[in-house]
Amino acid sequence: MEVGIVVFPGSNCDHDCYQAVKATEGLTPRFIWHRETDLGDVGAVILPGGFSYGDYLRAGAIARFSPVMEAVIDFAREGGVVFGICNGFQVLTEVGLLPGTLRMNDSLRFICKEINLKVENQHSAVTKGTAVGSILTMPIAHKMGNYFAEEDTLKMLEDEGRVVFRYCDESGNVTPTANPNGSLHNIAGICNPEGNVVGMMPHPERRVDHYLGGIGGKAIFEALSAYLHEYAGV
């Protein structure tokens, strides 16, 4: 199953995603340059982390106008899997495929540290089959990772079970002290109603091998493979 990895000017986690996909059974990675208008025969698209277009204006605000994004939007609306990581999550909110926005961290500083995530939804494209309550450990690396949405949007996300990941402590407790950036409801990742579009701020691609410090992100790519082969019909 081929997975396209979009490369924007300023992407810096594209090769990390490439290697993570390559190391996952059943998946084959392919780079897609941001000027391309045809995704080809891919089963999923990943929007990687980095600083697309230097994060000018605000993170993801320019990348949303890249030629490739029209194809990505069409692909998502037709049921294709689109997975945004960090800057990719920001792009998904800018383009309207996911609600809310990512604001400056409440510390107003760039944060790069190991965090714990609690899986809240086992039906999304990147958590299919993962037990609710599972704790995954991986790094964050962002300055604009503070998830914000209006109260009615937050209620909708909660009521519809669309919060995929929350920041938690080592025991799985969702507490203010476990929240690294001020995100409302400790939200670290969300999905669309169908679960085929997912965005998350932490970096699973940086934790897929013990040589990288752990395998907390490996389950996410394995779930993606399972979802594509068993449920997406591609």
Residue 94 appears among annotated catalytic residues: no
Q: Of 17, 120, 191, 205, which is the active-site residue? A: 205
Token pair for residue 19?
A: 């290697």
**pLDDT tens over the chain, length 234 residues:** 999 999 999 999 999 999 999 999 999 999 999 999 999 999 999 999 999 999 888 899 999 999 999 999 999 999 999 999 999 999 999 999 999 999 999 999 999 999 999 999 999 999 999 999 999 999 999 999 999 999 999 999 999 999 999 999 999 999 999 999 999 999 999 999 999 999 999 999 999 999 888 999 999 999 999 999 986 554
Residue 9 dihedral angles phi and psi, to the nearest 5°: -60, 120
Tell me the three state secondary structure of residue 112.
Answer: strand
Q: Report whether 102 contacts 89 (CB < 8 A).
A: yes
Q: Count the neighbouring beta carbons within 10 Å of the beta carbon of residue 212.
A: 18
Q: Which of 13, 86, 168, 191 is catalytic?
A: 86
- Tokens 């944060």, residue located: 111
Report in angstroms the alpha-carbon separations of 162 from 78, 133, 143, 166, 195: 19, 15, 24, 11, 8
Structural domains in the chain, sorted by start:
2-230 (3.40.50.880)
205 is catalytic: yes
* Residue recorded with tokens 């086992």: 122
Residue-level pLDDT at 234: 47
pLDDT of residue 212: 87
Distance CA 12, CA 31 (A): 13
Using an 8 Å Cβ cutoff, are 200 and 188 in contact? yes
- Is 216 within 8 Å of 144 (Cβ atoms)? no
* Rounded distance between C-alpha atoms, residue 51 and residue 30, angstroms: 20
Model confidence, pTM: 0.96
Residue tagged active-site, from 94, 168, 203, 222 = 203
Rounded to 10 degrees, the C-alpha dihedral 42/14/228/133 comes to -160
pLDDT of residue 231: 67
13 is catalytic: no
